[in-house]
Amino acid sequence: MQENQLRICKKCLTRDMIGQEEYFNNLRDYIENLDGDIKVDQEQYESRLLICKDCENLFQGMCRHCGCYVELRAVIRTNACPVNHWGAVQ
């Protein structure tokens, strides 16, 4: 990359990405079909994702700290952010 070129921002969730749509649609279908007993409610899920979208570790839907897809990590109630931006729900 040349020094004077700007980098394109890749700070987005998979649901906002264009291209690779079939793969990400499968990921979203998987998330939607998880057993409700292991998922947080929609309000908590969206709250977690807002935190992830503001995090410097988010890159192309993945956490650069741990390598997970943040949308999948955020939906599971017992999961926590690897850098403690949000915690698990018991």
| Percent of the chain at pLDDT exceeding 90 | 61
**Domain span holding position 42:** 1-90
What SS3 string covers 76-90?
A: ECCCCCCCCCCCCCC
**pLDDT tens, position by position, 50-90:** 999 999 999 988 999 999 999 999 999 999 999 999 999 87
Number of domains in the chain: 1
> What is the pTM (predicted TM-score) of this model?
0.75
For range 35-49, the mean pLDDT: 96
Q: 1 or 8: whose pLDDT is higher? A: 8
* C-alpha–C-alpha distance, residues 31 and 25, integer Å: 10
